Structure 1
Amino acid sequence: MLQIVFTVGILFWLLHNTNWQELGQRFAALRPLWFVAAVLSYAMNLSVSAIRWRIILMAMERSAPMLWLLRLNWVGAYFNQVLPGSVSGDVIRAWYTRHQTHSMPLALAAVFGDRFMGLGALIAIAAVAFVLGGARVGLLPQMGWTIRILVFAYVLIVFLILSPLLNFLEKFAGRLGEKLHDIRLGMAALLRHRLALGGTIVLSFVVQFFSILTFWLLARALGEAPDAVAIWVVWPVISLFLALPISFAGWGLREGLMVFYLSYLHMGHEQALALSLLLGFTVVLTSLPGALLWIGLHRHHQAPLDLKTPPASR
């Protein structure tokens, strides 16, 4: 309920201060080919991330058919848009892969590891772009501190995952502590597996490249030519904030941050709002096939293990 209140409140405030005629004109001038290219780009984002998920499972000595993971990735993307919480679809992905991992905590570790690697790539892109951005990034208020905090938080989480310091606290949490311990060990297995870690890092940058490409293509679909800082700093940082469970599927939060930051890069209220709304619509539209892929999923959710997986790793 709080997420819905937050989302409705922000959207109401933004739309109340919007020139509806100008906003409508921007959507009326939408360039279809650029929009279709953006939809395909986001579809590639979902497809490549399924490969990353499979590599993470292999690092945990588990595996599942590639088509099964691709299907679940689309199902998860759909439920991330229609259920409250920013990780609802991730929990559903873990639920349907618990048979391949033989453990729900391990399934959660693989899914959260997949999400965690993606966030790390976003932070790296934003940090490097901020350093190389020169005077342009100085236009963005408190962006330097925001990126520093994100980098520090990410490094701290990696340290806690690999460190045995949490063992003491997990023992006092009972069964919940045991499950959290299993999740942490699963994610640590990935971070210690050099080959798998290298592969997931490379794929994470590829996934985020398609995310940034989608942003740029949609801007072009609206006839905009966004500043490079908007593409490489603002959008990655906004994407990181969208992982916070404070709005419904990112609506409202995305629009508010987009209007706020892009105004400092000389993009008008209606321009930034139109781009943000189009981004949200594109994500929903591209994720809709997940609803169809979910139908009948419960009838064969115990997907067979990959026959190429050696018996010892099952």
Structure 2
Amino acid sequence: MSRKKLHTRWQLLLQIVFTIGVLFWLLHNTNWPSLSQRFAEMRPWWFVAAMASYALNLSVSVIRWRIILLAMERTAPILWLLRLNWVGAYFNQVLPGAVSGDVIRAWYTRQQTGSMPLALAAVFGDRFMGMGALIVIAAVAFALGGARVGLLPQMGWTIGILLYAYALIVLLILSPLLNFLEKISGKLGDKLHDIRLGMSALLRHRLALSATIVLSFTIQCISVLTFWLLAHALGEAPDAVALWVVWPVISLFLALPISFAGWGLREGLMVFYLGYLHMGHDQALALSLLLGFTMVLTSLPGALLWIGLHRHHEAPPDLQH
């Protein structure tokens, strides 16, 4: 077995252990009758509206992805990208890590971009712009949140570090300090150079950058709407700080590859933060679980769409077995 495969298996094992461990601890401290009652009394039309909101999120984000490709002087049919976005959303929910579906999106657009690194750059740019919007939303909401945000432990430091890290990445992409990548020989150097070139093209293209910024804020507002609808489906009236600070920050942490498709990590953070906003353990856990189920159910068509792709296109290496 190669070192790379061994590393991947150990990473998967650690993600599974982390997910099971956190969920076991949370469920062990849960009032099961109370949790079951919350789901039994769920308002179905609010839940349907939340699924529609998440589907809208997936659809609108395709426009941002296509604009990024155009900024890189590449293009692909919008319906093709829409299909791949749904496929990617599905695999993000069922594969380890939080970006497996993004790699699959890049794999199936490598022909349109001319190379896998440029395809990865476009997909990374799509996610990177979305993360930037989340950080700004959380930062502005934290600054305007008044005394309520003071209830959240170390949230100011957390958002500050996220802002600093994001700005540093942008500077490194645009800075000539990374020109040494061009001098690295072999495939690694070519890939790193192409990824940086693709991201630089987006950040230097004013019209495309402006459009993706506007779309990113729109998409993240739809994400907040989904959160709000699901809370109301469970009969909750979430605090504005929960909507505009806690949920964006949790969404950012879900990009970390430390749990299986975000499960466990999302529930742990939700119970932790919402507890300081006076939402009970069972309430926060029910909301988090419902968020996860909503994303899985809404992205399920992606499985059928991928089956059609698999018949006519080569599958990514990790999915060929």
Q: What TM-score range do you get, normalising by the shorter chain? A: over 0.9
Among 61, 68, 77, which residue is 2:89 paired with?
A: 77
Gapped regions of structure 2 (runs ≥ 5): 1-12, 315-321
Q: CA deviation at 1:180?
A: 1.1
Cα distance per residue 1:240-283 (max 9 Å; x no partner) = 00000000110000000000000000000000000000000000
Are 2:196 and 1:204 equivalent residues in the alignment? no
Structure 1 residue ranges, 4+ long, deviating more than 6 angstroms after superposition = none
Corresponding letter in the other structure for 1:84: P
SS of corresponding position for 1:249: coil
Residue in structure 1 matched with residue 8 of structure 2 by the alignment: none
Are 2:221 and 1:218 equivalent residues in the alignment? no
1:85-234 equivalences in 2 (<5 Å): 85-168=97-180, 171-172=183-184, 174-234=186-246
Corresponding letter in the other structure for 1:73: N
Residue in structure 2 matched with residue 308 of structure 1 by the alignment: none
2 CA distance for matches of 1:151 and 1:57? 26
Among 279, 294, 316, which residue is 1:282 paired with?
A: 294
Residue in structure 1 matched with residue 52 of structure 2 by the alignment: 40
Cα distance per residue 1:92-141 (max 9 Å; x no partner) = 00000011111111100000000000000000100000000011100000
Q: CA deviation at 1:298?
A: 3.4
1 CA distance for matches of 2:208 and 2:76? 16
2 CA distance for matches of 1:146 and 1:173? 38
Q: CA deviation at 1:167?
A: 2.2
1:171 and 1:178 in contact (8 A); partners too: no
1:299-314 equivalences in 2 (<5 Å): 299-301=311-313
Q: CA deviation at 1:27?
A: 0.6
Corresponding letter in the other structure for 2:40: A
Are 2:253 and 1:244 equivalent residues in the alignment? no
2:181 and 2:193 in contact (8 A); partners too: no
Are 2:68 and 1:51 equivalent residues in the alignment? no
Q: CA deviation at 1:176?
A: 1.0
Which stretch has the larger CA shift, 188-197 or 172-181? 172-181
Corresponding letter in the other structure for 2:121: A
1:8 and 1:252 in contact (8 A); partners too: yes
> TM-score when scaled to structure 2?
0.92
Identity %: 85
1 CA distance for matches of 2:108 and 2:309? 9
Gapped regions of structure 1 (runs ≥ 5): 303-314
Residue in structure 2 matched with residue 307 of structure 1 by the alignment: none
Among 258, 269, 273, which residue is 2:281 paired with?
A: 269
Corresponding letter in the other structure for 2:232: R
1:86 and 1:245 in contact (8 A); partners too: yes
2 CA distance for matches of 1:249 and 1:128? 28
Q: CA deviation at 1:174?
A: 3.9
